[in-house]
Amino acid sequence: MKLTDYRTLGRSGLRVSPLCLGTMTFGPDWGWGCDVAESHAMLDRYLGAGGNFIDTANIYTKGHSEVILGDYFSERGGRDHVVLATKFGGSLHPGDPNSGGAGRKALQQQVEQSLRRLRTDCIDLYWMHFHDPHTPIDETMRALDDLVRAGKVRYIGVSDTPAWQVVQGQHEAIFRGWSPFVALQVEYSLIERTVEHDLLPMAQANGLGVTPWSPLRGGLLSGKYGRNKHPHGEGRHVPGVSKSLTDRNYAIIEAAEAVAAELGTGVAQVALAWVLARPGVASPILGARTLAQLEGNLQALDLVLPMAMIASLDAASDPAPIFPHSFLKNTPHVMQSGATVNGVASDLWPLAPRTDAERW
């Protein structure tokens, strides 16, 4: 696979690369990102290989990420040839209750600020960054549709929002003739698979292309960590990682290490290839901090995992079922009573009547 093996995003005609370049690391303003030169080097490498999908947000590195992207394309050209995505919802103005969230006032102000920082007149994909419990979803969907009609946004997506709220927004839009969501952005990796309960099936049923963030679980699946590997020193707390160093996650890392050793590759490449192969996934988002990390991540495009290896990774990382799924897995025999439907077999239900005389 190559970055030029483009995929349409959800139920839309928007073509995107199978790996998206995430830019939350662009800018040192949060204390752990890369400088402008390294950011430009990663853009050069990604775009030079035919990549066309770039993801940022208004709040990333205090707005600097958007500025770096805007300056890059203003100086070097090529803006029209990329799918530039950014997000709204986060506040950059402490104390102002209308500077964040998904209300109309916040949304209209945030899009203008992002357009200015990105130095463009239209955002290709505009994400609702997270669920806003204080704003009715129909207000957000109408305000987004206004931006599409005004030519400031081309497509809209939704991130980090409960499945029921996404469906409500989607069907409000369809019923009223507004622009619907075309994509869903959620955390998804070998370690974080709970989205498989509701969010991923919902996305497939509603025509949303999935762009997973943190497919390496914040570096936990980078190959640096293991039961006897602590790159920052054993016992040292690393935000976002230390709390995830559990027996379950070590077992997942070891399963990925076994696959990587057999295929002659790295854990990061195995983890990315696994996500790339999941049903409904359009374009995982890479979060590299250095050009070397990006180079390693792009190698996942060359990796095809055999079904037996996928099965071993699935077994090691299988998430515990939640209600009602934990209950529903026991109901096929009640509904089908021994019949096979759409390839799903069932046993005879022992409590079902066996003769006409037993039926009331």
* 358 has pLDDT over 90: no
| pLDDT (0 to 100) of residue 236 | 46
- Name the residue type at position 34: C
Nearest CA among 118, 149, 140 for reference residue 55: 118
pTM of the model: 0.91
Cα–Cα distance between 268 and 223 in angstroms, integer? 6
Evaluate whether 189 touches 215 at the Cβ level (below 8 Å). Answer: yes
| pLDDT (0 to 100) of residue 15 | 98
Burial of 323 (0-12, 13-18, 19+ CB in 10 A): exposed
| pLDDT (0 to 100) of residue 28 | 95
* 278 has pLDDT over 50: yes
For residue range 104-130, list pLDDT tens digits in order: 999 999 999 999 999 999 999 999 999
| pLDDT (0 to 100) of residue 328 | 87
Nearest CA among 343, 193, 180, 162 for reference residue 274: 193
| pLDDT (0 to 100) of residue 226 | 82
Return the active site residues. 60
Cα–Cα distance between 43 and 27 in angstroms, integer? 13
- Chain-centroid distance of CA 250 in Å reads 23
Provide the β-strand partners of residue 286: 21
| pLDDT (0 to 100) of residue 7 | 96
Tokens of 358: 């037993």
For residue range 116-174, list pLDDT tens digits in order: 999 999 999 999 999 999 999 999 999 999 999 999 999 999 999 999 999 999 999 99
CATH number of 7-319: 3.20.20.100
Q: Which band of pLDDT confidence, cut at 50, 70 and 90, is reported for residue 349?
A: confident
Residues in the chain: 360
Summary mean pLDDT of the chain: 93
Provide the β-strand partners of residue 281: 210
| pLDDT (0 to 100) of residue 231 | 65
Helix (H) or strand (E) holding 87: strand 83-88
**Which percentage of the chain shows pLDDT scores above 90?**
82
For residue range 173-210, list pLDDT tens digits in order: 999 999 999 999 999 999 999 999 999 999 999 999 99
For residue range 200-245, list pLDDT tens digits in order: 999 999 999 999 999 999 889 998 888 877 665 554 445 556 577 8
Domain with CATH 3.20.20.100 in the chain: 7-319
Cα–Cα distance between 48 and 261 in angstroms, integer? 30
**Which percentage of the chain shows pLDDT scores above 70?**
96
Nearest CA among 20, 4, 6, 8 for reference residue 288: 20
Q: Which band of pLDDT confidence, cut at 50, 70 and 90, is reported for residue 330?
A: confident
Mean pLDDT of 273-283: 96
